[in-house]
Structure 1
Amino acid sequence: RFEDFGGYPQVVERARELITTQFENRARLLAIGAKPIKGILFTGSPGTGKTYLARIIANETDADFYLISGPSIVSKWVGDTEARLRKLFEAAARSQSGRAIIFFDEIDSIAERRTEDSHEASKRLVAQLLTLMDGFKNEQNIVVIASTNRVDSLDPALTRPGRFDWEIEFGMPTYEDRLSILRVGARGLQTIGDLPLKEIAKQSEGWSAAELTALWSEAALMTASDGRGKINPEDVAIAFERVSSRPRREISIEEAR
């Protein structure tokens, strides 16, 4: 649920406005004469919760959820990748709930800017995706969400009006976001004592949501290996040191290419 997504209140509210309203008030929007939203880009660094929020939205709206993880859809056989995409969109159109979310994780890995040097298979894949999105009918209650941390590398045809023309940016979590993420993570755990969440939120500047969540995994491992049933403040402090000591490397867009 939305309350299980720690931090980023403005991101959650914007996503709720764009997608939940799209599903629940579609007939009203069409009566007004508004064009349905086809595609939304979730942009931001890895580990900031883009896929997690997409799953929550699907659950909150009772929509069927189709997850495509970047290169996993690509086939070595000519025409097979485009056929997979067509079948995916056809399945979404036949959704029993009448609502569907198609989520492309790391879309930049399959839909980079087309150039003369681009592989022919890549050009065909992007062209097929554009054709499928342009073929949406008003009665088809489908929203395509795509995540990327390299939005500048996407083919410009994808980001023009009528396709992925809405963007929601996931920045690195602020202090308030980090504290909220830590509290949400602790909510489902067995704990004892006054956990130092505010101190950790202050000291974890630059951490992603995924790194903050990893802290609870470390704390739980220590608790279980020590034969105890509840996480205590010392476990959390040691877990913070362990996660802090993990190797961290920032990857630039040029390196990723």
Structure 2
Amino acid sequence: MVKPDVGGLSFDDFGGYDHVVSRAKDLINTQLNRHDELKRIGARPVKGVLFTGLPGTGKTHLARIIANQANADFYSISGPAIVSKWVGDSEGMLRKIFEHAEKSKSGRSIIFFDEIDSIAEARSGNSNESSRKLVAQLLTLMDGFSNRESTTIVIAATNRVDSLDPALTRPGRFDWEIEFGLPGIIDRLEIMRVGMRRIQCDGDLPIFDVALRTHNWSAARLTAIWTEAALIAASDQRSRVAGEDIAQAYERVARRPERDK
């Protein structure tokens, strides 16, 4: 379980992607804060939200922000971490997580699965029995949401949405899919501005030039510029990042080989 930090991450710490942030706020404001109103209307609440997109585009980072802003019990689970070699252990772990979330004192909880493709790949004739049972258990647990008084939402992140079991991604389980594409120029500028707020630096930095030159860069790759710039300044025994540090850091990151996604 992740405990919220007072003064911790907020939506202001997520640069760019206005449509993604807006959807995340809707999730908190309507599905959690307006649960009673939805119930009176007779509407079926959202059970699951799927974050999809390339690596480094901010899926896990946004989940951490939601954990800090939702005023709900937040369970962060790495998909591979719950896969056990012992028969039945993985399914039992899933049941315990959902049962604990259901008993939340606040009456609201979020279960976040990072790399959900590692536990919920499409079932086929080549799938082993333990994999099929794990997917079936997750489907059963999500289907049980409608019988609960408490509000539980599952958020899952994956870089390989096409590999997920179709029974899991259909409406009624994961009702929303929020796609994290590569950032556009405005998004890149905002990502750089967010990074600038976290670091001691001179006021006049060439972040707009960096945003122009980083077409098809992920948010993680952009953020790496600040790490490199800080290292350059520290190695020069300076306590603030200067414009030339940003320029040199950009060159360093740009020279790194890109791997196949």
1:184 aligns with 2:190: no
**Residue 254 (structure 1) aligns with:** none
**Residue 180 (structure 2) aligns with:** 170
- Residue of structure 1 aligned with 2:70, choices 61, 82, 91: 61
Q: Tell me the amino acid that sits aligned with residue 50 of structure 2.
A: L
**Residue 155 (structure 1) aligns with:** 165
For the residues of structure 1 that align with 2:199 and 2:182, how far apart are their CA atoms?
Answer: 25
1:24 aligns with 2:30: no
**Residue 242 (structure 1) aligns with:** 252
- Residue of structure 1 aligned with 2:229, choices 193, 199, 219: 219
Alpha-carbon offset, residue 98 of structure 1: 2.3
Q: Tell me the amino acid that sits aligned with residue 114 of structure 2.
A: D
Sequence identity (%): 65
Alpha-carbon offset, residue 160 of structure 1: 1.7
Output one character per residue of 1:117-144: Cα deviation in whole Å (capped at 9) or x when no partner.
1011100100000011111134121110
2:172 aligns to what SS in structure 1? Answer: coil
**Residue 49 (structure 1) aligns with:** 58
1:139 aligns with 2:144: no
Structure 1 consecutive aligned stretches of length 4 or more whose deviation exceeds 3 Å: none
CA contact (8 A) 1:39 1:144 kept: yes
Q: Tell me the amino acid that sits aligned with residue 95 of structure 1.
A: S
Alpha-carbon offset, residue 20 of structure 1: 3.0
Structure 1 residues 76-155: aligned runs within 5 Å? 76-136=85-145, 137-155=147-165
For the residues of structure 2 that align with 1:109 and 1:20, how far apart are their CA atoms?
Answer: 30
Q: Tell me the amino acid that sits aligned with residue 224 of structure 2.
A: A
Q: CA RMSD in A?
A: 1.1
Q: Tell me the amino acid that sits aligned with residue 96 of structure 1.
A: K
Most deviating of 229-238 and 87-96 = 87-96
1:209 aligns with 2:182: no
Residues 238 and 133 of structure 1, relative CA distance in 2, 3 Å threshold? same
- Residue of structure 1 aligned with 2:22, choices 1, 13, 19: 13
For the residues of structure 2 that align with 1:110 and 1:13, how far apart are their CA atoms?
Answer: 29
For the residues of structure 1 that align with 2:235 and 2:106, how far apart are their CA atoms?
Answer: 44
Most deviating of 15-24 and 79-88 = 15-24
Alpha-carbon offset, residue 74 of structure 1: 0.2
For the residues of structure 2 that align with 1:107 and 1:5, how far apart are their CA atoms?
Answer: 22
Unaligned runs of 5+ in 1: 252-257
Output one character per residue of 1:53-106: Cα deviation in whole Å (capped at 9) or x when no partner.
111112111122111112111000000000100111111112233221111111
For the residues of structure 1 that align with 2:21 and 2:159, how far apart are their CA atoms?
Answer: 18
Alpha-carbon offset, residue 8 of structure 1: 0.1
Q: How many pairs align?
A: 251
CA contact (8 A) 1:92 1:100 kept: yes
Alpha-carbon offset, residue 19 of structure 1: 3.5
Q: Tell me the amino acid that sits aligned with residue 110 of structure 2.
A: I
Q: Tell me the amino acid that sits aligned with residue 61 of structure 1.
A: A
Most deviating of 201-210 and 64-73 = 64-73
Q: Tell me the amino acid that sits aligned with residue 208 of structure 1.
A: S
1:135 aligns to what SS in structure 2? Answer: helix
For the residues of structure 2 that align with 1:8 and 1:160, how far apart are their CA atoms?
Answer: 25
Alpha-carbon offset, residue 193 of structure 1: 4.2
